Amino acid sequence: MKHNTNRIFKYAGVLFLMALLFSACNKENDLGIEILPGTDLINVHNAVIKDQLGAYANSEFGIVTNRSGYNLIGSLQDEAFGNTTVNFATQLRITTYTDFGANPVADSTFLFLYYRSVYGDTLTAQNLKVYELEEMLYDDQKYTQDIDLKSMASDQVIGEIVYTPKVELDSASQDTLYQVIKIPIDNEFGQKLISADSADMVIIDSFLTNICKGIYIESEKVNTPGSGALMRLEASSSNTFRGSALLVYYNNDSNIVAEEPDTLSKAFLITQFSARVNNIVHDYSGTAFVNDLDQGVEQEDYIYIQPTGGLKSHITVGELTGWRDSLNTAINKAELVFQIDTIASDIEKYPPPTSLTLTFIDKDSIERLPIDYYFSPNYYGGYLREDYTYHFNVTQHVQRVINILDPDDDAYVGNQGFVITTGQTSDNPRRVILEGTGRETGVQLIITYSKYLQ
């Protein structure tokens, strides 16, 4: 009984304090009320800006293809985006010295390329051809998607395969399993490697300069709409994966006379130190946007966004000075919102990117990330949402557009518009079609603001 009485007293005490607090809050200028406007009336509104926005299709150039963790290979004839064909060149490296013994003879040679991701059709066979490089690649240089790798290679085919991509899942973990493209290589090439001077097999620079500068893999263009695919190669070795490699199986005098001879092998690896470069060719013939590309024609129906040096969109925003002249108004949030057209984009066959990147164009026509990104990438956004939209928080950027008009001010950004891309990626083939500026749910600038009433 004593316990219940104490509880009653505690509740009574809490109620008494709340009553005092409520009474205090109703006294003028108490508990922070003085920080509100005199009338203490604030209305919060959303302004959805659509008719002042424009979107224009542009080509994306200068995408660096040798600084990514992965590389692409293959050819895809996309119904909406036309053809993308990706070729691949890489260095092969020696990681340890091998004594090949007396009179080594190549038995067979294979190039093993591993992948776990396919974008496109897994029913269409891909024709891949392998050539030896005649010019050096350098891992400390930048190579863009338009590099002519074919001109750097011999015209003699040393390997070829017709291969149909596939995807398999581990039945227990449901993780995607490694798949391998095993390409037979001319044994003369394998013999060249194991017959090299031992001095060139010790120092990697000597090996690359004198023995093997690398290999070039060419993808044959696929022409049937809706066919073909791009495979994402797990080319480079890591702590958990040995990486793709060229293997030479061989015998020597000692092995041949052994009681139970077993063919020897030597792996020439593609490592994290190997220069790995993609050449990417886009052919937009017959697409709906080809005549508007880079022509300043507004994308009213669809906005096409494509990685691998493909397509980006310039987003313009109309005059915003009216917000500066609006009295008693504070901008709480400014968001650019893009909606995927799930039908036109065919998201079941071509999954959209998990995120997009929005940059602004500065006074010198250079694309830069807005200040909101540096405040917090999560706050800035750009991630694919469950409703198939991408939201970008550009509040601080828009505030600068409105308030800072002096180009000599360090915080000046101007109003040259934005650029939306997949983030200048060369190793992720996911593309997307967004609803254009003329669509009901097309690109929007949503401004949330507070209006102080007097």
Total tally of structural domains belonging to the chain: 2
178 domain residue, yes or no: yes
Residues 259 and 292 in one domain: no
Overall residue count recorded for the chain in this entry: 454
Residues 425 and 369 in one domain: yes
Structure tokens at 242: 């040995």
Its sign, for the CA torsion 359, 82, 126, 278, is negative
Unique residue bearing structure tokens 């009901």:
440
Structure tokens at 82: 């036309």
Of 250, 274, 298, which residue is a domain's last? 274
CATH number for the domain harbouring residue 387: 2.60.120
Q: Would you state the pLDDT for residue 31? A: 34
Question: Residue 450 pLDDT more than 90?
Answer: no
Q: Would you state the pLDDT for residue 329? A: 77
Residues 200 and 241 in one domain: yes
101 domain residue, yes or no: yes
- Average pLDDT of span 148-174: 89
Residues 104 and 239 in one domain: yes
Q: How confident is the model at residue 173 (pLDDT cuts 50, 70, 90)?
A: low
Question: Residue 264 pLDDT more than 60?
Answer: yes
- Average pLDDT of span 113-117: 94
Residues 258 and 300 in one domain: no
172 domain residue, yes or no: yes
Residues 219 and 345 in one domain: no
Question: Residue 80 pLDDT more than 70?
Answer: yes
279 domain residue, yes or no: no
3-state helix/strand/coil string of the chain? CHHHHHHHHHHHHHHHHHHHHHHHHCCCCCCCHHHCCCCCCEEEEEEEECCCEEEEEEECCCCECCCCCCEEEEEEEECCCEEEEEEEEECCECCCCCCCCCCCEEEEEEEEEEEEEEEECCCCCEEEEEEEECCCCCCCCCCECCCCCHHHEEEEEEEEEEECCCCCECCCCCCECCEEEEEEECHHHHHHHHCCCHHHHCCHHHHHHHHCCCEEEEECCCCCCCEEEEEEECCCCCCCCCCCEEEEEEECHHHHCCCCCCCEEEEEECCCCCCEEEEEEEECCCCCCCCCCCCCCECCCEEEEECCCCEEEEEEECCCHHHHHCCCEEEEEEEEEEEECCCCCCCCCCCCCCECEEEEECCCCCEECCHHHHHCHHHHEEEECCCCEEEEECHHHHHHHHHCCCCCCCCCCCCCCEEEECCCCCCCCCCEEEECCCCCCCCEEEEEEEEECC
- Average pLDDT of span 180-209: 94
d(CA 192, CA 53): 61
Q: Would you state the pLDDT for residue 258? A: 60
d(CA 402, CA 445): 14
- Does residue 360 or residue 258 have the better pLDDT? 360
- Does residue 230 or residue 320 have the better pLDDT? 230
Q: Would you state the pLDDT for residue 14? A: 40
8 domain residue, yes or no: no
Domain carrying residue 430: 44-60+288-452
Amino acid, single-letter form, for residue 68: S
17 domain residue, yes or no: no
- Average pLDDT of span 30-55: 68
Residues 344 and 260 in one domain: no
Q: Would you state the pLDDT for residue 36? A: 41
Residues 162 and 50 in one domain: no
Residues 212 and 312 in one domain: no
d(CA 356, CA 373): 13
345 domain residue, yes or no: yes
Residues 262 and 301 in one domain: no
Residues 294 and 404 in one domain: yes
Of 209, 242, 274, which residue is a domain's last? 274
Question: Residue 24 pLDDT more than 90?
Answer: no
Of 246, 274, 302, which residue is a domain's last? 274
Instruction: Note the pLDDT tens digit of each residue in 373-392.
Output: 999 999 999 999 999 999 99
d(CA 302, CA 297): 12
Whole-angstrom Cα Rg for the chain: 31
What is the average pLDDT score of the chain?
88
Residues 263 and 319 in one domain: no
Least confident segment among 159-173, 241-255, 256-270 = 256-270
Tell me the β-bridge partners of 300: none
- Average pLDDT of span 262-281: 93
16 domain residue, yes or no: no
- Does residue 253 or residue 128 have the better pLDDT? 128
